[in-house]
Amino acid sequence: MRKPLSVAPLVALLVAGLAGCSAIGPQPTEWVADTSQGAVYLSWTSTDGKLSGNESSSSENNYVVSTSSAPFTGTESDGKVTLDFGSALMSEAFTGKISNTDLHLTGTNSNGTVELDFKPGTVTQFKAAVAKEQDAATAAQTKAAIAAAQHQYDGAVAQLAPAVDAAQTALDTEQAALATEKQAMAVYASQVATAVSSGCSNSDASNAATGPEQGPPGDAAYALQTATDGLSKAASALTDAINAVNPPPSKIAATVSQATLSADSDLASRATTAAQQDGALASSDNSGIFTQGNKVWNLPYC
């Protein structure tokens, strides 16, 4: 005898199929698009195919991410959607296709055609996307700041060697002028002493006492003063160059050794000291020329 055909397995399959269809449910009313230009959040209510909602979007300016919102209206029918944003940041109208899992919109703005792909999402997800965008902007700002500091540091390093050379040259020039000035003043003092001891002024003593504009000692004192002025400027420039590279900016590796900087600082210190001391000597000797000269000028001519 044949057994009757059981319909239970077939009924079970039909029930499962109907359950699967009911799982599709209504279309989402919240959408999030996370693009390279920023995040966009859409939320709407639908009444007989007519949509009314709000759009929020993010934008970055000078490494700061901000958000703005604007209302919109639209329509939805048979998987097609049209959204009108009016004076919002996006174009006035976007059209596209909608399903339970995707929303694709196409529109235009000042940059041309814009396409946005949305996924069902919440305002919390939108805020998370904005926070992620701000993190990326902050990282970019840090990277740019490091690059700028690196560029400035490299430029300062490039100026250090010329500043060292200039300071050394100025110091050599000043030391030569100092030696010349000391010799000229010694000769001048000797000539004045000879004239004073003889009780009369001869031509050598008279010529030596003609003053800083004409006499050899005055010329030497003036040359020394000029050299110390140049040395002072060179020493100051070297000090500035050293300070520009030491210490290096944060997160910038030093390319100039501390030994080099120590030697350069020593040169700047010696140059500064020489400029101050020898400049004062030149000024004192320049004034002393007249004091010594008076001893000769008041003597009768031999």
Alpha helices (H) along the chain: 8-22, 123-198, 203-208, 216-245, 258-297
Give the pLDDT score at 13. 29
Give the pLDDT score at 213. 45
d(CA 229, CA 79): 85
Tokens read off for 291: 């004091």
Give the pLDDT score at 203. 66
Arithmetic mean of pLDDT over the chain: 85
pLDDT for 20 beyond 50: no
Give the pLDDT score at 80. 96
Which range has the worst mean pLDDT, 8-12, 89-93, 136-140, 242-246? Answer: 8-12
pTM: 0.68
pLDDT tens, residue by residue, 92-144: 689 999 999 999 999 887 777 889 999 999 999 999 999 999 999 999 999 99
Nearest Cα residue to 178 out of 218, 228, 215: 228
Give the pLDDT score at 206. 64
Model confidence at 205, pLDDT cuts 50, 70, 90, reads: low
- CA max distance for the chain: 168
Tokens read off for 106: 């196409």
